[in-house]
Amino acid sequence: MQSQLPQPSVLALFAHPDDIEFVAAGTLLLLKDLGWQIHYCNIANGCGGSATTNRLETAAVRLKESQLAAKILEASFYPPICDDLDVFYNSENLAKVAAIVRLAKPSIVLTHAPVDYMEDHTETCRLAVTAAFSKGIPNFISDPPCSSFDGEVAVYHAQPHGNRTPMGELVYPQFAFNIDSVMNRKLAMLECHRSQQAWLQSTQKMNSYLQAMIELGQQASRLAGMDCNYAEGWRKHWHLGFSGPEFSPLETALKAHLK
């Protein structure tokens, strides 16, 4: 009897509850529909995302919201490792993120842009990149200790929030995927984060966080020059230390949705 090939695996490593939904859920849904294993992690617990409930209450609410969103993806869910604004590139956090990478064994890691509007996003990106780099280094001890593993991995960076750098400069994706076919499910995932409507309206002037996500998807489509309503844009991290130069698993898997 011929043995089945293992399911390919993708790991989404982002900063806060709802970050995955804003910039990566469409891509994850497309991969899920192709049979990929999905792994979902917000590094921070979202405790800062409320002006009406305390840190512990807010973190508990946002954990439940994230778990509901991950359930739509049928994803393996990894709990956060730290509080909001406590996402630092240090040995403690790196060891914890490395354990998540080693447990997920991904060939694709999706994460934030290297430069984004807030430091939690930027630091999450740095942690994700180094954790992916360290996956095959047995002398780097993760927390909890997990075995290193061999194999190629490709790291992809989502569009920064607002499709702009912190200086307001537009960021053009290297490539983008048409997500029209999964937009309803992407919206359903973001809608799980109901606690964020009032918070984002008061702090970031988003009258509707759902409408903000729709507009970002429309703008990504225009920036990529695509003939679709909604897109998610990506830039691929340089291959050195991660894979061979031709290893492009995301573009290969989703070529039917590629620009």
pLDDT 10s digits, 60-75: 999 999 999 999 999 9
Tokens standing for residue 30:
């497309």
Q: Where are the domains of the chain?
A: 9-251
Q: Give the separation between CA 141 and CA 123, rounded to whole angstroms.
A: 20
Q: What is the DSSP pairing of strand 175-178 with strand 231-236?
A: antiparallel
Options 3.60.15.10, 3.40.50.10320, 3.40.190.150, 3.20.20.80; CATH of 9-251: 3.40.50.10320
In order of 215, 223, 225, the CA distances from 170 in angstroms are: 15, 9, 14
Q: Quick check: 172 and 223 in contact, CB under 8 A? A: yes
Q: CA-to-CA distance for 117 and 132, rounded, in angstroms?
A: 23
**Strand order across the beta sheet in which 9-14 lies:** 76-78, 37-42, 9-14, 108-111, 154-158, 231-236, 175-178
Helix (H, G, I), strand (E, B) or coil at 241: coil
- Per residue in 103-156, pLDDT (tens digit) is 999 999 999 999 999 999 999 999 999 999 999 999 999 999 999 999 999 999
| Token pair belonging to 226 | 């695509």
Cβ within 8 Å of residue 204, ≥6 positions away: none
Q: Residue 176: pLDDT above 50?
A: yes
Question: Which positions ≥6 away from 5 have C-beta within 8 Å?
Answer: none
Instruction: Give residue 167's Cα distance to chain centre.
Output: 22
Confidence of residue 3 (pLDDT cuts 50, 70, 90): very low
Question: 1 falls in which pLDDT band (50, 70, 90)?
Answer: very low
Residue (of 79, 209, 101) closest to 111 by Cα position: 101
